[in-house]
Amino acid sequence: MTAEGQTRPILVSIPHASAAVPPEVKGDVALTAEELFSYTDVFTDQIYRIPDVYLVQYDVSRVICDVNRAPDDISKEYEQAAEGVTVHTTWDGKKVYKREPSQEVVDLLIKNYHDDYHEKIDEMIPKVRFLIDCHSFLPIGPKLKADSGRKRPDINLGNVNFSTCTREHTVFFRDFFQERGYSVELNFPYTGKYILGHHCHRRRIPGFLVPGIQIEINQGLYAGPDHQAQPGRIEEFHELFARVVDAFVERFCPEEKE
């Protein structure tokens, strides 16, 4: 346990838990509330919110403005406009908008929501020693993804091909989950995107960059095909995440326990 009132030097990022549509595009979105929820990392706000860490959580739908993409990653430069900071097609081929936003509105979305999220991370970086970017993913690769139709592992750890943390860090997380019976893949199906790429490096660069990893939990472990939570499973994974952070601090930041 840390001393009373002490925040451990771990930054937890939860970027994809919200289904909210901001006012800038409120009347233009073609997707229903149920569809927007299905494109979230369902229940990650409950699984990954733990005490005594630094936390940043995004409150806008990733479909509207994705903080895990670069601000100049333009969706229209992709074949089906299904990637990028704002998208026009979902990963299963649905149109996001009845009327697509102008470039001025897109720029405003990025300024108001994307930039704000990363500025919050930047404010916390000097206080932390490791970043965990927290996600969940569909059990089967969806239509427009590279692994379409393929069964996915229980846990996916991403480190942008070992550029955002050391092998020692990665093996620690891999072994923690494997020892508890979960199948784990490194950098499959996701390696990590802009959050890791922008804020993380294998070595701590004080004030600017910290080591970091992306954790993806298979949604099939805790939610059904209708995206409804399985009884007790959210709480199980919440406790599991709390334990992995405890173990990480014990291993890599032991002086923080004094």
What does the pLDDT read at residue 236? 98
Q: What is the pLDDT of residues 6-48, one digit of tens each?
A: 899 999 999 999 999 999 999 999 999 999 999 999 999 999 9
Find out whether 130 and 169 touch, Cβ atoms under 8 Å: yes
Q: What is the pLDDT of residues 221-242, one digit of tens each?
A: 999 988 999 999 999 999 999 9
Q: Is the pTM of this model over 0.85?
A: yes
Q: What is the pLDDT of residues 183-234, one digit of tens each?
A: 999 999 999 999 999 999 999 998 899 999 999 999 999 999 889 999 999 9
Q: What is the pLDDT of residues 87-131, one digit of tens each?
A: 988 888 899 999 989 999 999 999 999 999 999 999 999 999 999
Give the residue ranges of DSSP H helices in the chain.
Answer: 33-38, 44-47, 103-109, 115-124, 167-178, 194-199, 233-252
pLDDT of residue 3 exceeding 90 = no
**How would residue 171 be classed by pLDDT, with cut points 50, 70 and 90?**
very high
What does the pLDDT read at residue 146? 76
The closest of 122, 79, 76 to 102, measured between CA atoms, is 76
Residue type, 20: A
Ordered by where they begin, the domains of the chain are: 10-252 (3.40.630.40)
Quote the longest CA-to-CA distance of the chain. 56
Sign of CA dihedral 68, 77, 152, 62: positive
The closest of 86, 81, 83 to 60, measured between CA atoms, is 86
The closest of 122, 90, 129, 113 to 20, measured between CA atoms, is 113
Mean pLDDT of 172-187: 98
Q: Please give the residue that has the higher pLDDT: either 81 or 178.
A: 178
Find out whether 144 and 225 touch, Cβ atoms under 8 Å: no
What does the pLDDT read at residue 84? 87
